[in-house]
Amino acid sequence: MEIFLDTANIEHIRQAAKLGIVSGVTTNPSLVSKEGKADYEAVVKEICSIIPGPISAEVVVEGAQAMTEQARKIASWAPNIVIKIPATAEGLEVISALAKEKIKVNFTLCFSLNQALLAARAGAAYVSPFVGRLDDVGHDGMALVKDIVDVFRNYQLPTKVIAASIRHPQHCVAAAKAGAHIATVPYEVLMQMIKHPLTNVGVARFLSDWQRLSKK
Ligand code: G3P
């Protein structure tokens, strides 16, 4: 399973890039707005320059024609941009048009297997089931990830599944077990994934044992 970072925070992206395990970034209008930077193009371009993999940037207009036009504009900002399009009927229309132009789409705000299947048929490069938000309303978000992965495999559909709206490290474990191609994780969750208290205890003990030896 590949790891994407789910953030628009440039400092966090730079820090995570040093680890050498982040192969893409996903943003959304809320994440960009959280950083308080009005220049959307500048933020997205900077992210694209830090991480060479796929960088998802979302359209922020409504209507198939307006979304398609904005998607073309955003796609021109950098070669590694993927356009996030919401999982609606208009969104399908946009994906179909963009797929013909070889512009990659990430079908976002996906909450059902049918939405994912239609996105794959329309030519989406990625679908993003929102695990945490489904869990929030009493559904099983990860069961949806597994269903989508299984169905795409059954029909050999090339669309990749991004487990999104990840809230904690156990979501990452479950996404990997469910066969998600990618998990997009907030920076805090990425840092939690590497931490284990027994590792810290073990390192401290090894070092103190070593220092005791050097004092002899
Ligand atoms: O990748 C989708 C993500 O940005 C949404 O996460 O926590 O707002 O549901 P959340």
4 lines ligand 1 (CB under 6 A): no
Q: Is the dihedral of CA 202, 14, 19, 190 positive or negative?
A: positive
Give the residue, by CA position, lying nearest to ligand 1 atom 3.
165
26 lines ligand 1 (CB under 6 A): yes
Q: Which of 120, 146, 144 is nearest to 131 (CA)?
A: 144
The set of catalytic residues is: 84
Do residues 108 and 85 lie in contact, with contact meaning Cβ atoms separated by under 8 Å? Answer: yes
pLDDT in tens, 50-82: 999 999 999 999 999 999 999 999 999 999 999
6 lines ligand 1 (CB under 6 A): yes
Give 83's strand partners.
57, 105
pTM value? 0.95
Query: Token digits for 180?
Result: 């998600």
Give the residue, by CA position, lying nearest to ligand 1 atom 4.
165
> Considering the chain, what is the average pLDDT of its residues?
97
> Probe ligand 1: pick from 3, 6, 166, max atoms within 8 Å of CB?
6
How close is the Cα of 19 to the center of ligand 1, in Å? 22
pLDDT in tens, 103-147: 999 999 999 999 999 999 999 999 999 999 999 999 999 999 999
pLDDT in tens, 157-188: 999 999 999 999 999 999 999 999 999 999 99
Name the DSSP class of 111: -
Which of ligand 1's atoms lies nearest the C-alpha of 167?
A: 7
Q: For residue 164, what are the CA distances in angstroms to 13, 45, 97, 110, 203?
A: 17, 22, 25, 9, 33
CA atoms within 13 A on the CB side of 187: 15
